[in-house]
Structure 1
């Protein structure tokens, strides 16, 4: 399928009203390329900030892009968009250059364009995540490299909740440990556990696509013999006794199986939870304590919380 990229060079003031016009015209999403993003300073603890390319941004102002399917109504749709944008002048909204360009985009190109933003990222002291298509060379002898080809479904493994989980695994996983990965997604936490020395990992997810993705990524990283991936609802009917359980899922889901996690852990076992928003921190903490856990650590990255607990 072919798409038309409609791009307007405008101002920050006009972003919201023009985005609304794009959405009303049938665009499923809007891309904002703001030159001021180049000057934003962000915290960079482990080198996870990807350097932006100035060539992708305008010299001044903002580029707003919308994608419209190429069909017999395209000409009318574009004309209506132009008119609606010009009407914003009646409300004293500064449109800046207000120049519009059209270009054709193949769906195949669009589906893979995101790859240029996915680069190797060092997310902890020892672990670096890199896409399978990058030729990444190990920086130090003890560096552990995870290769991922996430597609569009499970992300790149560099979200703050994943980073918090891997940093905790790096701290608590010991040689010959048994790990349970609940809601495994791409399998990145299971792979990290295997590389850190765990003997056996049981990875569970309710989503069939996640199960296939985790199995594939385990093979790519040559740890498939250590990782057993299975479609399962949380820890239902799981009787394995683990040294560490890790769950990077929503707070509401964590509170559905905290008692099962307690039962599945050996004495002194560690429960690593992530995916918790700030507003849910106390709720999850209370739930873990009521289930019998001791709280060891509460860590935060951006707006996300990780709670590490231990079965006495």
Structure 2
């Protein structure tokens, strides 16, 4: 399989919104090379140590790398990235030097690059994301380990928007719940819901690669019997009655299907939304309330917002 590496040279301020966008348009993983990391203590929460090569880093700003399949959708995705970066500048983000370069890479090169950055990370009180090649022992019987391979995933599960979503699922998903994951990407949130005891999870994504990745990761984590992954445009044509709907996608997209989310929830059901940049939170809140939802909780992490809305 052929891959394309998209390199975006920008500012620290733009890391979070651009990284989230890249994941949402189907990047099979992102890497941020920030020269400030060269002077930080290079350790993770669990104590893993790794070396960084100064030659990989820009002299100023940051370099965000994203990896895409080299297929017919690539040009469309590049156009979306450029449009969104222009929109970010229009609302006040500083993106300069704002250069985009593209390189073709072999799959083996991409997978090896990932292994320098990807370590076990605890994303909720009881859920830890672990790369398949790492040895990791759970700290307790309650801790749930989700294994992922960046070679098959859209992200590592450690982005703030994913963490906010996973934390909400851990708090609100109950055994036997029916859960809809809208914009499933690699299936991380579907797997989290299944691991927490959901009786059935339906994972939807417009990108067929995401659907395939979700199935592979569900199998890897022994929950494929609980997760049905299908290609679909948000909730169009879906008529299931769910206990919980989770959607970690861009704010603009969330606002397009709040009515459909309402219609696909049981009375008292919850709509967990994330991927909302702080400047867009009021717009999303207004749209949720317009559809009839009551906001019962708002959470924030590194400038990203998550709402839990009740029907």
Do Structure 1 and Structure 2 share a fold, with TM-score over 0.5?
Answer: yes
> CA separation in 2, counterparts of 1:273 and 1:166?
11
In 2 relative to 1, CA 40–135 (structure 1 residues): closer, same or farther, beyond 3 Å?
Answer: closer
> CA separation in 2, counterparts of 1:130 and 1:41?
18
> CA separation in 2, counterparts of 1:33 and 1:280?
26
1:289 pairs with 2:269:
no
Q: CA deviation at 1:51?
A: 6.2
Give the TM-score taking structure 1 as reference length.
0.69
In 2 relative to 1, CA 234–114 (structure 1 residues): closer, same or farther, beyond 3 Å?
Answer: same
Residue of structure 1 equivalent to 2:240: 240
Residue of structure 2 equivalent to 1:34: 35
CA contact under 8 A between 2:152 and 2:213: conserved in structure 1? no
1:110 pairs with 2:99:
no
Structure 2: which 5+ runs fail to align?
1-30, 64-104
Larger Rg: 1
**What secondary structure sits across from 1:117 in the alignment?**
coil
> CA separation in 1, counterparts of 2:270 and 2:32?
42
CA contact under 8 A between 1:33 and 1:57: conserved in structure 2? no
> CA separation in 2, counterparts of 1:123 and 1:198?
19
1:124 pairs with 2:124:
yes
**What secondary structure sits across from 2:245 in the alignment?**
strand
> CA separation in 2, counterparts of 1:305 and 1:199?
27
Q: CA deviation at 1:40?
A: 7.8
Q: CA deviation at 1:153?
A: 5.7
Q: CA deviation at 1:295?
A: 0.3
Give the TM-score taking structure 2 as reference length.
0.69
Q: CA deviation at 1:38?
A: 2.6
1:165 pairs with 2:165:
yes
**What secondary structure sits across from 2:202 in the alignment?**
strand
Moved segments of 4+, more than 2 Å: 30-42, 50-58, 61-64, 106-110, 150-153
1:150 pairs with 2:125:
no
Q: CA deviation at 1:293?
A: 0.2
After TM superposition, list the pairs within 5 Å mapping 1:160-309 onto structure 2.
160-309=160-309
**Which deviations, in whole Å up to 9, do the C-alpha atoms of 1:216-273 show, x marking residues without a partner?**
0000000000000000000011111000000000001001100000010001101000
Structure 1: which 5+ runs fail to align?
1-29, 67-105
**What secondary structure sits across from 1:280 in the alignment?**
helix
Q: CA deviation at 1:132?
A: 1.1
**Which deviations, in whole Å up to 9, do the C-alpha atoms of 1:181-226 show, x marking residues without a partner?**
0000000000000000100000000000000000000000000000
> CA separation in 1, counterparts of 2:162 and 2:36?
29
Higher relative contact order (CA 8 A, sep 6+): 2
> CA separation in 1, counterparts of 2:275 and 2:233?
18
**What secondary structure sits across from 1:259 in the alignment?**
helix
